[in-house]
Amino acid sequence: MKKLFSILVITGFAFLFSETYACTNFLITKGASADGSVMISYNADSHVLYGELYFWPATDWPAGTMLDIYEWDTGKYLGKIPQVAHTYNVVGNMNEFQVAIGETTYGGRHELHHQNGAIMDYGSLIYIALQRSKTAREAIKIMTDLVEKYGYYSEGESFSVADKNEVWIFEMIGKGQGEKGAVWVARKIPDGYICGHANQARITTFDYQKKNKWNDPKADTFNSKDVISFARKKGWFVGNDKDFSFSDTYAPVDFGAARFCEIRVWSMFKDVKKGMDKYFDYAKGNVENAESFPDGRANPNKYATNRMPLWIKPDRKITLQDMFDFLRDHLEDTPLDMRKDAGAGPFELPYRWRPLTWEITNDGSPELDKIFKKYNKDTLEFCNERATATQQTGFTFVAQSRSWLPDETGGIIWFGVDDAASTVYTPIYSSSTRIPETYAVGNGSMMEWSDNSAFWTFNQVSNFAYLAYNRIHPEIDKKQHELEKLFQNKVKAIDAGAKILYDTDKKAAVEFITDFSVNNANNLVYQWKDFYHYLFMKYMDGNIKTPNPGHLNPHLSQPGYGEDFYRRIVKDTGEKFLVK
């Protein structure tokens, strides 16, 4: 996601806009998940993205209907394409056939951004594909066919495309001005493996397909026919086809791509796979471009030679709760733990307010002078960490596709709004014919308050917690995990009830799971409001108040800032605050 965000409702479609390259996806295959489901996750991050749940009901369209296409990021009208006769039910980023799609924008080579006359931007591709596809492969084919026919308007994009049996990573970038369409590669994640992407293209070498075998169930790679020849023509690649790397050619990794993007994938990988420490140097921005690869192959294209693998086989099975928690990561217990430097303040806040990078000049102090002399500069640029969990998340989800259940009851999008570390994921069945009012499009906006909006309710809790994080957030963590455990148990009961109904009346089964999805989500918001009231009363004004039964006033404690921070104050100020 990137850039400005707002909502336009045009011919029944919601078009979305957001700011900055800032999203994270994790991809889990059936064989890697604890329950045999396919899962993809998505933190949709932007400082001006209003979190809400998009909805397109299944619809029959009259012959000759045209679909207007507006760029997802700006609302700019791009053109129109023929509508299909029937579109499928879509809740958020998942449809009634358990197909789910997420994305992260990587940008890539600037000369390939946008092309005059192009109609299809990446956001429109996602939601059109969801309304028209029954499998992940079909979604990829629809998206690439649309781009080939109508041109690609966006920048470089990575997609997660999943269904009840497979999950694919699919990367695309346009051809720039003067040529229509895009170059792209899609790879199926091997069963038993996991993958991730976070605003940096990650597909390197692949088995080039002269002709895509869309109907071959054994096919695990698809690509545009000119994905390599286009790069050769531009002078960006020399050598054998087998050595061609999509991401290293079209989006070369640099310090920022590794430190701000790849590190989010690394942090998830290291939680489930021993030995990932060897990639930490790369993840923190030290990208090597050696003359040859570790296996001895020459490197005439100056590709990065110390990259992480595209996918890994985890040491344990991944649970649904793992997926929620992966999205809540702040690089805890790593050398870059955001709670442990001066920017965290006295309450160990694992967030940094923007901008992401900042410059300072040498003031001549011994601490700074040593650094500036090392780099022989008067001004140096520094950065904040960019972890997976971030304050600017608009919405977040884990899409869970379950092959052992009928499509009508198998797909669930576990949906949350605002900061993943402070939200609660509520289950919404993807065949639901209604969505909860508290999460609905139009219930508030980024500059319009709504008292029964999920987005504003969760923001009240998270932003209050930012004031005294290590005191308040542990209560949030406990509450969200209790509720998510409860919801997972509820889903088991709802699945059982839906099965009984499904065997006799499919429509009644869908209504049953719709009622649950709507009521559970709305009730969560009302419960979270009460939770905010509790937290505010307990922690306001820097105090901590607890009940004192039988007395008018509560127990009161005033723990202050903690000894470590007081020592830091004295080191900075000397005797300024000394009591004499």
Is omega for the bond preceding 294 within 30 degrees of 0, making it cis? no
Residues making up the chain, counted from first to last: 580
Give dist(CA 150, CA 67) in Å, integer. 13
Give dist(CA 399, CA 159) in Å, integer. 14
Q: Which helix (H) or strand (E) holds 500?
A: helix 469-502
Alpha-carbon distances of 579 from 143, 212, 227, 346, 573, rounded to whole Å = 70, 78, 71, 21, 13
Domain of 360, in residue numbers: 351-383
In a domain, 407, yes or no: no
The pairing of beta strand 357-361 with beta strand 59-60: unpaired
Give dist(CA 220, CA 209) in Å, integer. 10
Please answer whether residues 378 and 370 qualify as being in contact, where contact means their C-beta atoms are separated by less than 8 angstroms: no
Domain count, the chain: 1
In a domain, 191, yes or no: no
Count CA atoms within 13 Å of residue 418 on its CB side.
19
In a domain, 293, yes or no: no
pTM equals: 0.94
- Give the SS3 label for residue 37: coil
In a domain, 365, yes or no: yes
Please answer whether residues 144 and 150 qualify as being in contact, where contact means their C-beta atoms are separated by less than 8 angstroms: no
CA 75, 80, 84: angle at the middle one, nearest 5?
120
Ramachandran assignment for 560, one of left (phi > 0), alpha (psi -120 to 50 degrees), beta (any other): left
In a domain, 490, yes or no: no
Give dist(CA 96, CA 102) in Å, integer. 16
In a domain, 378, yes or no: yes
In a domain, 446, yes or no: no
Q: How many helices (H) and strands (E) does the chain have?
A: 14, 25
- pLDDT tens series, the chain, 580 aa: 653 322 233 333 333 333 445 799 999 999 999 999 999 999 999 998 899 999 999 999 999 999 999 988 778 899 999 999 999 999 999 999 999 999 999 999 999 998 899 999 999 999 999 999 999 999 999 999 999 999 999 999 999 999 999 999 999 999 999 899 999 999 999 999 999 999 999 999 999 999 999 999 999 999 999 999 999 999 999 999 999 999 999 999 999 999 999 999 999 999 999 999 999 999 999 999 999 999 999 999 999 999 999 999 999 999 999 999 999 999 999 999 999 999 999 999 999 999 999 999 999 999 899 999 999 999 999 999 999 999 999 999 999 999 999 999 999 999 999 999 999 999 999 999 999 999 999 999 999 999 999 999 999 999 999 999 999 999 999 999 999 999 999 999 999 999 999 999 999 999 999 999 999 999 999 999 999 999 999 999 999 999 999 999 999 999 999 999 999 999 999 999 999 9
In a domain, 513, yes or no: no
Q: In the numeric block, which tokens belong to residue 567?
A: 């020592």
Give dist(CA 224, CA 212) in Å, integer. 8
